[in-house]
């Protein structure tokens, strides 16, 4: 993933990939990396998609694999025809917003309390497991 991060930085510096800016003084968002997952964020155009594919091809040369069955193209404020045509560039499917990634919603309005219920439930389960491990055998019986 370090190599992919470096390749993306070079592509941004050379103007080969154009990420998104949220504000004029904010940094450019181009990708998110977590463990073995990547989310690319960029301007909606064929040149960006082609250059992203070229970067991923370089990644393959390093001996690493990409699971194309998990790859999706998401677009906001673009037609289904545009989504389908851009999805043909990396040969992947079109995804719908919102979607769940690593147990969290992406592209969903998270202002409501109910939207956070799955996150709270994950923490509740993990805390109960942690709590059970910390109790003695007698404590587990009485709890």
CA 70 to centroid of chain Cα atoms: 11
pLDDT per position as a tens digit, 109-140: 778 888 788 888 888 888 877 776 776 666 65
pLDDT of residue 6 exceeding 90, the answer is no
pLDDT of residue 143 exceeding 70, the answer is no
pLDDT per position as a tens digit, 37-54: 888 889 999 999 999 988
What pLDDT does residue 18 have?
A: 93
pLDDT of residue 14 exceeding 90, the answer is yes
Please name which of 92, 16, 14 lies closest in space to residue 54, comparing C-alpha atoms.
Answer: 16
Pair 29, 19: CB distance under 8 Å: yes
Name the residue with tokens 């909606």: 44
pLDDT per position as a tens digit, 52-89: 988 888 878 877 778 878 889 998 888 999 999 999 88
How confident is the model over 19-42, as a mean pLDDT? 85
Q: How confident is the model at residue 141 (pLDDT cuts 50, 70, 90)?
A: low
Average per-residue pLDDT for the chain? 83
C-alpha distance from residue 65 to each of 30, 35, 55, 136, 140 (Å): 21, 14, 13, 45, 44
| Per-domain boundaries in the chain | 2-99, 109-143
């Amino acid at each position: 993933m370090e190599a992919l991060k470096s390749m993306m930085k070079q592509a941004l510096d050379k103007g080969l990939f154009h990420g998104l800016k949220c504000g004029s003084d904010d940094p450019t968002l181009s990708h998110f990396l977590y463990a073995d997952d990547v989310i690319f964020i960029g301007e909606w155009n064929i040149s960006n998609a082609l250059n992203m594919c070229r970067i991923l091809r370089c990644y393959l040369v390093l001996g690493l694999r990409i699971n194309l069955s998990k790859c999706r193209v998401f677009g906001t404020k673009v037609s289904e025809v545009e989504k389908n045509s851009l999805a043909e560039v990396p040969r992947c499917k079109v995804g719908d917003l919102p979607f769940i990634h690593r147990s969290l919603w992406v592209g969903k309005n998270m202002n409501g309390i109910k939207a956070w219920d799955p996150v709270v439930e994950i923490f509740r389960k993990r805390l109960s497991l942690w709590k059970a491990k910390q109790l003695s055998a007698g404590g587990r019986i009485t709890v």
